[in-house]
Every structure is written in structure tokens, then in C-alpha cells.
Structure 1
Amino acid sequence: MTSDRLNSNQTAETSSGKAELKRYRRKELDEEEERSRLALVNDDEEYEEYVPLAKRKHMEAQKYRELVGRAGSVSADEEDRGDEEKAENRPKESLLVAAVRMRKDQPEATEEQKQLEEEADILKHVLQKQALKAVKELAQDVKYTKSLDTGWKAPLKYRLMPEEQRQKTRDTFRIVIDGDLVPPPIPTFQEMKMPSAVLRVLEGKGIKKPTPIQIQGLPVALSGRDMIGIAFTGSGKTLVFTLPMVLIALQEEIRMPLIRNEGPVGLIICPSRELARQTFDIAEQYCKALQQDGYPEMRIMLCIGGVDPKQNYEMLRQGVHMVVATPGRLKDLLHKKRMNLDICRYLCLDEADRMVDGGFEEEVRDVMSFFKGQRQTLMFSATMPAKIKAFAESALVDPIEVNVGRAGAANLDVIQEVEYVKEEAKLGYLLECLQKTAPPVLVFAENKSDVDTVHEFLLVKGVDAVAVHGDKDQSDREAAIQAFKNGEKDVLVATDVASKGLDFPDIQHVINYDMPSEIENYVHRIGRTGRCGKTGVATTFINTRFTNETILLDLKHLLKEAKQRVPHFLLALDDPLEEMEKLAAASGVKGCAICGGLGHRATQCPKLQAENKQATMKNRDYFGGGGFGGEM
């Protein structure tokens, strides 16, 4: 009865849902322990003992030596397979070890190769310039593939002329071109289809035949092609870009006359106010002559700093066809929305290298952002090193380079005289040099203080002299230059502000009171004489104690190139001529690719060193003593 009651209770508990207790026998427990023990044994067998890094490298090297030892007995048929096995079993090496091994395996570079590699690295960084394009064009990746069409065509006989005959004409005038589908050179203004009014102005100036840069440059510009023009100073470059602008503006005025607040059609940007004034006067002469012959009136505006901008505002309200400007004032008018470049289709940068090196590069880029469409772009200078060419080619569409003589070469019509003069004897010797030729005479000095000193000295000695430099008022600068051009004053003393493109046709003598810090400035200075085929004299005072030896070597090679007399103190300079010739032959670049100097390479360029020094000065922390860790 008791057992029946227990069985009934167990059945009730099971039916009520409670878990039934599991009962184990001893045999089952023993089997479970055995399985756990076997699992631990298997884990121990799979465990790998840790081997230190040094021991692993030693073991891998030992395997590699064994493979190399066996490779000697491998037959020729099995060599390829053996190499693969070696590569698989070769010990791994770090990147640093691999780099050291590669340097050891490579033959040691010669000094010449090291120099060329260093130059290539310098040029790579110097030429990394942002494209000279509008911001929207850069953002939208706008690319122009075709040049603008002006409608001008060369006469039929020149279009049918064989390329061999065209090249013969270029060789006669020492014209070097680079580009595709270059228009033919035309040796007369009449055959260029110039209006009679233009021919009359040229004849009144005594210009009967075009110069070499005009023979090839004018057809290129008139046909609407983008252009890089390089020619020595005094070769007539201003006419090459001024006449096409006037004729393009005239064409647009005839097609559709300008209305109020419209224009300009053409724009010329110059680095200095004096050069902008001179270019404006030349263009205005042709506009007035064309109006006299019955053509529509064309308004040209001078846009420079130092003058009241109200005159510009009034003219802009009437509508202007052409503008000649300096970058600062032009940028100001554009940002104030007094002027726009919506219909501008012609842009010229005169003395482009001087403008970029003079710190106007960002201003020019800013001006480019106001263009609404494609434009014909021209860049001109007497010196156009590789840096400026890269800057130019970023903006030009299918450009043509017209080069008359080496870029940076001196005018062959100038007799260059270089004389050693002590610092304390300069003023006295200057009076003697003024007796060499009849006035007018142009005297250049590097510093503004020297200009004032020389000017005062000449006035005390009874010489009719005027002075020009950047610290003088614009009205005083213009009055001085005008008095000098009109023959009212005999001597003009100036800094390099007067060396950039200014035309003084009657000057027979240029005196460099000191040697400039860059050979490019020397070329521009002496180019103020010997213009338009006339012969001139340039006298330069040298004091070797105050002049960089690199500049003296550049001057020495420049004199040799122009077949001028080289003074004995320049001949005595230590000149690595053979090394320079080897580098020129290996690189294809004669002299410095940055500044065009013939006496040094890009690695010793004083111009680049000065730019780097100036950039370092700008980044200096004047208030914190040089920043963290600097001297207090």
C-alpha cells in the first residue's frame, strides 16, 4: 500500500510539469572524464612553442643557406624552379634593409648626375604653379581647345607659300618659332592689311619696315592665336600687342556698337605705372588716327594707381573699348563692380616675367576670375625663363612661341663697357662718363637712397637732372619722365622702375651706377638704349667687394655672348666653364633655367635664393622669438 502511494506521488509530480531528476551511474561518469582528458591532450598537441624573433631569423637563414648549397647541384633545366623555391623560402626583410641593399647595388652617381637631379628637383617645385585660369573654369574643369577666330587672313601668296620658304624667311631674321599651324611671316605692314591711318602713324614715327618680332608676331596676334613673345629690349614688342587690340576693338564696334556701362573688349596689364602710361599713349595715337579717317570713335582708358579714380568711373559709364592698367587699380575697379570683363576677348600681359616676379601673380589670377568666356591671351617679355613659360602655358590655348634671339640675351646694338670703380670715387667718375655722349642720359641705381644722392649731386654740379623712384608721388614721376622725353632735362636718375619697357628712342647712353642684384635687371637697363636699330652705349660701375660673384660670372658670359670686351677683373674670376658646358650638353639648357643667367646653374641661382630668403622672413615669428624652442 505504501509503494502504491509513492508511485502515485511520482506520477503526479511528473504530470504537474516538474523536471525529473537525472540519475548517473559510475560508468557514465568515468566516460565523461575520459572525454575531457582527451580534449586537453589534443589541445596540447596543437600548441606551438613561442620562438623568439632572433631565433626565427636564424632558422630562416639556415634554411636559405641549405637551399643555396643544394642549388649548385641542380641541373640547368631545374634552375627556374629552383629560383622560385628560393624566392618562396628567402627570409623576409624590412623596407629599410631593402632600401640600403638597393643603394649598395646601384652604381654611385657622378657629380654631374647629382647636379642634374638636384636641378630637376628644384624646377619641379618652382614650376608647380596653379593654372592661370578663372576660378569657375578650374572648378568646372573647363578646357578650350580651339583658338579664337578674328577673321583676319594673310594674303593669298603667303598662305600658298611652301613651309620651306617660310622657314627661310624666319632664318634670315633669326626668328625661332614653336607651335602648330604657325601663320606665315610677312615682311611689310601693307601686306598685313593695315588700315591707311595706321600706316600713316607708323610713317610719321619713321617706322617703314617691321622688326623681326613684328614680322612674325603681328600675323600670329592678328589671326587670333595665343602667343608667347620673346625678344630683346627695343625690338618693337609694344606694337605687336597694341595694334591687334585696337583693330579687334574696332571690329567689335563696327559689328555692334558699345552701350553705357559696357566694355572693355581689350585689356593690357603692365607691371609699372610709367609703362602703362606709355602703352596708353601709343594706343591712343592709333585710335585718333582711325577716327580722323572716318572710323567710329574708340575710347581707351588708363587705369593706374596714384590718380583720382573718378575719371575712370565717368569713362566706364560711357562704355570703354580698351583698358591699359596696372594690377592693383584694375583689381580694385573689378571688386567694386565699377567695371566688368563680360565681353573682354583680348588680354595681354606686358613684361610678364617682371610682373610675376614683382609679386603681382595673385593679382593677375584674381583678374582672370572675372572673365566670362574664352579670350585671346598674349604674354611678352625680353626675358622668359622656364618658370614664366610654365606659368604662361597654363592659360594659353594652343600657343605659339615667337623668339628672336636667346631669352635674356643683351641687345647686340648696345656697346657694353664695364669698369671697376671704388665706392668713394663713383660720383666723381659719373661726371666724366656724362661727357662720353650727348644728352639725354639715363642713370640707374639699385636703391632709392642712391637715386636721391646722385640726383642731388648732379643738381649741385649744374646738371639738369630729374629723379624717379617708387616713393615719389605719381604726378612727380610723370612730370619727370615727360620733361626728360621732351628734352627739357638732360639726365634721368631712376631705380629699376624705369627699366621695364619704357621707350626713350633718343637715348645714346645708359649708366649703371651699380650692378643690379639680378642679371635680368641688367639686360632690361641697358635695353633703354640702342633701340629700333640705333647704336647705344652702356657703362656699368663694378665694385667686386659689394657684388655677388655669381652675378659677375653671369655678366662675364653675357659680354662674351655679345662679343663685347671683357675686363681683366672679370677674366680673373674662377669660372667652372668645362663643368657648365657638360651640364648644358646633358640637360639641353644653357645656364640657369630660372633666371636665364649664363654663369651659374639653377642650384646656385641668386634669384631663387633671394625668393626663399624673403619667404622665410615672411614666416618668421617676430613676437614669439622664433616659435617653440626659438631664442628669446
Structure 2
Amino acid sequence: MSAKDQLKQLAQGVEIIVGTPGRVEDFVKTGKLDLGRVRFFVMDEVDALLSQGHFNLLRDLYKRMPQEDPAGRRLQVVVCSATLHSPDVTKLAETIMYHPAWVDLKGMDSVPDTVHHAVVRIDPTRDTSRPSDARWWHQVPAYARTDDVHARDNIKPQRQSKEDLSEGVKRLKYKYLLAAIDQHQMDQAIIFCRTKLDCDNVERFLQTEGGGAKAMVNGYTCVCVHSDRRVPERRENLQKFKDGEARFLICTDVAARGIDVKGIPYVINFTMPDEKQNYVHRIGRVGRADRMGLAISFVATVPEKVWYHKCPARGKGCHNTRLVEQGGCTIWYDEPNLLSEVQAHIGVVIPELDESMAVPHHEYDGKVVYGEARDKNKQQYAGHAALLAPSVAELTSLEHSAQTSYLQLLTSL
């Protein structure tokens, strides 16, 4: 909906406003939206909002709302998040909430029994995928474009400088991506990338590898979903993935929120997530409805230099490859450390696969078919719904109380 149409509705008077932080802030600052009578302030997916740098904005919006109404009732603040106990969410709660009550529907993060997950080490110093050349990463096709972080570093495959190896990781991940897809004959998978640029590059690589976007038969059909794609395109791409017209959905953590596709058999973490909580959120896309799923994560053995935009343009047109501490927009990404944090968080050591990507059957409960319902005779466990039943009942009660309070508030105005 256009801003003009939204303003028309505001002028007619509304009881509930739903909007992005940027649009709400714009209307407030231009005097189009008055927050002087707000009684409920709800922030959904608050961890994503905070990761996008909206802490100060949310705090400022909160300060514009009356903390109490004439009857002495306090402003009600609700935050919802898949990673509720992250430090950022806790900090926000301590800043703007008065004696908050925490309702945790998940408990401690854990990996369901229906999800097999493994890591693959990406080592540009001694790769064995092609024995004839221990470091063949420089032979990756030209259409395997990387993020241009090392565009000015005069990369030379025969060296092993920090920059050379970082670029090697970026190129090797394309080859390992194809190896994982081909080994498991993946007919449907979600591929998670760290940035929107990475998503675009992976989409281009798979399309080209399969014969091009206009090929009559493309073995690597894929679609991309992220915030730089227009809403109609995102909807169309998601529908293509759901309908099976595209085998692979490529997206960022933020874009994947709210996406619900049943029966997904595979997830590939092209890059480890920045936050350990997002690991469980990502791989939880598979293994639903008691169907088996496999999640494979690529973990570089050496630091990788990546974009970390702090510039006002948030990366658009930015080519400042200096490190953040030097006034630039890049950081050194340490995936082994991120993996250690994930393992400590979920309390397990994640098994590793070699370059063949084959999953040893003895690692689990016999041979399984990913995407299919598992053999319940091999392993019984309490269903996810049963485990959540007490928390859902509590949430239902809280929701009823909130709705009742809202109706009482309306009748008292």
C-alpha cells in the first residue's frame, strides 16, 4: 500500500496501526501520526529489528507514547522473537519495559530428532576434492562471482596470504554447494546466505551452472528472496518454490522469517549465521511434521573477509573494503568460532562430513529418506505439539486477558 493510501486511512481514524519502523518513524516525524493515545506497543520479530540497527528508533518511538493513561494504567509493551533471550532483546526489555513477564514457548534451543545436521570444512590450504591439484579453487568458473571484497587485493592462487585464502573460501563454497546438491540429489532445499549480495551471486551461479535462466531444462532452478527484491517478485518466487517450479530457495535470515513451506528435506548454510540462535532457526526449516531432514553447513577453516556495512547507504554503492576499525565496511569472519558457539549453545558436537558430502548411515538410526516420514518403529519420542501444549495453553490465557483488557479500555474511553 502506498504512503498516500495509508495517510487517507489514518485521516479517517484507526484503532490499530501495523507498520515497519521506518514508515512509522517517517509519519511521526512529519506530524502525520500522533502517538499520544497509544496504549499498546507491540514489536514482532524484534531480534531482526535490532539486528538491523533499530534499537534507538524503537526507543524513541516508545518515548513518544504516554507511559500512563489518565486512569493510571501503564503503557503495555509486548515483544515477540524466535530468539527471545538474546542479549539485544534483553537490553531492549530492560530499557523500555516495566517488570516484564517472559513467556517462553520454546525453552532451551535444541535440534529435533527428525533433523540430521552436519558441517563440512572448507579448507583452501589443502583441499582434496581434486587430488591432482591441492588448491584448485582458482579454477572456479568466472560466473562463480564473489562479493568483490578482495577486488583490489591482486589475488594470486600460488600465494597463501590471508586475503588469498579468504577469496579461496568464497570460491570453494560454490564447488561444495554443487557437491552437496548432487550427492544427495536434492530436489528441494533452502540455501541460507549471510548477505543479499551473496544471495544474488549464488542465484546467478546455479542458474548458469544449469544452463542459464532460459534453458528448457535447468538442473539447478532457483529463486531468490530478500529485501532488495520487490514484494511482487518475492511472492512470485516463493510460490514457484512451493509449487516445485524452482528447486532451490536462496535467502537471508531476515527474509526467511515468516516463510512456511511444508516438507522441505534439505537446508544448506552457505555461510554460518552471525548469531548462534539463528542456527537452530535455520535448520528447523527441515524435519517438520515428523519428516526427516538434513542440514549441511559450510565452515571455513580460515578467516574470511566479509562486508559489514556501517555506512549511511547500508552498502548500496559502497566499495570501502577497509576494516570497520579503519573506517571501512568489512570484518574478518571467524566461522570456526561461530561453530563453537553454536555447539555450546545446543550442547552437542555437530558431526562432520568429508568432501564427498555422504552421510554415514551408522551415524544415525539406519538409512533414511530425507523429506519422507521417518520409521517410528526405530525411535519413539514425544510429539512436538505435546511438548508445547502447556506453553500454548498459557499463551492462550494471556491472549484472552489481553483482548479482554483492550475491550475494557475501549469502553472506558
TM bracket (short chain): 0.5 to 0.7
Deviation at 1:540, TM superposition (A): 0.7
- 2:5 aligned with 1:336, yes or no? no
Instruction: Confirm or deny: 8 A CA contact 1:499 1:528 kept in the other structure.
Output: no
Larger Rg: 1
Structure 1 partner of 2:193: 445
Instruction: Confirm or deny: 8 A CA contact 1:440 1:506 kept in the other structure.
Output: no
Q: Which amino acid aligns with 1:456?
A: R
Alpha-carbon distance between aligned partners in 2 of 1:517 and 1:476, rounded to the nearest angstrom: 27
Cα deviation 1:96-132 (Å, max 9, x = unaligned): xxxxxxxxxxxxxxxxxxxxxxxxxxxxxxxxxxxxx
Alpha-carbon distance between aligned partners in 1 of 2:63 and 2:120, rounded to the nearest angstrom: 48
Cα deviation 1:332-364 (Å, max 9, x = unaligned): 122233333444433322222332232101111
Superposition pairs of residues 471-490 of structure 1, within 5 angstroms: 471-490=228-247
Q: Which amino acid aligns with 1:479?
A: E
Alpha-carbon distance between aligned partners in 2 of 1:308 and 1:459, rounded to the nearest angstrom: 34
3-state SS, counterpart of residue 401 of structure 1: coil
CA, structure 1 residues 367+533, in 2 after alignment: closer, same or farther (shift >3 Å)? Answer: farther
Instruction: Confirm or deny: 8 A CA contact 2:271 2:299 kept in the other structure.
Output: yes
Structure 2 partner of 1:416: 117
Superposition pairs of residues 464-503 of structure 1, within 5 angstroms: 464-503=221-260
Deviation at 1:523, TM superposition (A): 3.1
Alpha-carbon distance between aligned partners in 2 of 1:555 and 1:348, rounded to the nearest angstrom: 29
Structure 2 partner of 1:380: 80
Structure 1 partner of 2:351: 565
3-state SS, counterpart of residue 537 of structure 1: strand
Structure 2 partner of 1:349: 43
Q: Which amino acid aligns with 2:234?
A: R
CA, structure 1 residues 474+425, in 2 after alignment: closer, same or farther (shift >3 Å)? Answer: same
- 2:183 aligned with 1:396, yes or no? no
Cα deviation 1:1-48 (Å, max 9, x = unaligned): xxxxxxxxxxxxxxxxxxxxxxxxxxxxxxxxxxxxxxxxxxxxxxxx
CA, structure 1 residues 474+405, in 2 after alignment: closer, same or farther (shift >3 Å)? Answer: closer
Q: Which amino acid aligns with 2:339?
A: L
Q: Which amino acid aligns with 1:433?
A: A
3-state SS, counterpart of residue 356 of structure 1: helix
Cα deviation 1:355-402 (Å, max 9, x = unaligned): 223210111122213323433222222322345324214433443222
3-state SS, counterpart of residue 324 of structure 1: coil
Q: 1:550 aligns with which of 337, 343, 355?
A: 337
Q: Which amino acid aligns with 1:356?
A: L
Cα deviation 1:309-346 (Å, max 9, x = unaligned): 12212332343343332110111122233333444433
Report sequence identity in percent.
30
CA, structure 1 residues 315+440, in 2 after alignment: closer, same or farther (shift >3 Å)? Answer: farther
Alpha-carbon distance between aligned partners in 1 of 2:6 and 2:195, rounded to the nearest angstrom: 33
Instruction: Confirm or deny: 8 A CA contact 1:439 1:507 kept in the other structure.
Output: no
Superposition pairs of residues 169-248 of structure 1, within 5 angstroms: none
Q: Which amino acid aligns with 1:521?
A: N
* Gap runs ≥5 in structure 1: 1-306, 570-632
Name segments (4+ residues, structure 1) moved above 6 Å: none
CA, structure 1 residues 394+556, in 2 after alignment: closer, same or farther (shift >3 Å)? Answer: closer
Alpha-carbon distance between aligned partners in 2 of 1:553 and 1:408, rounded to the nearest angstrom: 15
Alpha-carbon distance between aligned partners in 2 of 1:563 and 1:503, rounded to the nearest angstrom: 28
3-state SS, counterpart of residue 261 of structure 2: coil
3-state SS, counterpart of residue 273 of structure 2: coil
Q: Which amino acid aligns with 1:476?
A: E
CA, structure 1 residues 323+434, in 2 after alignment: closer, same or farther (shift >3 Å)? Answer: farther
CA, structure 1 residues 563+542, in 2 after alignment: closer, same or farther (shift >3 Å)? Answer: closer
Structure 2 partner of 1:431: 178
Tell me the C-alpha RMSD between the 2 structures: 3.2
- 2:219 aligned with 1:455, yes or no? no
Alpha-carbon distance between aligned partners in 2 of 1:443 and 1:476, rounded to the nearest angstrom: 18
Structure 2 partner of 1:301: none
User: Normalized against structure 1, the TM-score is what?
Assistant: 0.37
Alpha-carbon distance between aligned partners in 1 of 2:11 and 2:345, rounded to the nearest angstrom: 50
Q: 2:9 aligns with which of 315, 338, 341?
A: 315
Cα deviation 1:251-282 (Å, max 9, x = unaligned): xxxxxxxxxxxxxxxxxxxxxxxxxxxxxxxx
User: Normalized against structure 2, the TM-score is what?
Assistant: 0.54
Superposition pairs of residues 43-122 of structure 1, within 5 angstroms: none
Higher helix share: 1
- 2:60 aligned with 1:366, yes or no? yes
Structure 1 partner of 2:268: 511
Alpha-carbon distance between aligned partners in 2 of 1:432 and 1:549, rounded to the nearest angstrom: 21
Deviation at 1:432, TM superposition (A): 4.0
Deviation at 1:451, TM superposition (A): 1.9
Instruction: Confirm or deny: 8 A CA contact 2:343 2:350 kept in the other structure.
Output: no
Q: Which has the higher contact order (CA 8 A, sep 6+)?
A: 2
Alpha-carbon distance between aligned partners in 1 of 2:341 and 2:354, rounded to the nearest angstrom: 15
CA, structure 1 residues 543+563, in 2 after alignment: closer, same or farther (shift >3 Å)? Answer: closer
Instruction: Confirm or deny: 8 A CA contact 2:121 2:300 kept in the other structure.
Output: yes
Alpha-carbon distance between aligned partners in 2 of 1:496 and 1:556, rounded to the nearest angstrom: 19
Alpha-carbon distance between aligned partners in 1 of 2:197 and 2:295, rounded to the nearest angstrom: 22
Deviation at 1:443, TM superposition (A): 0.6
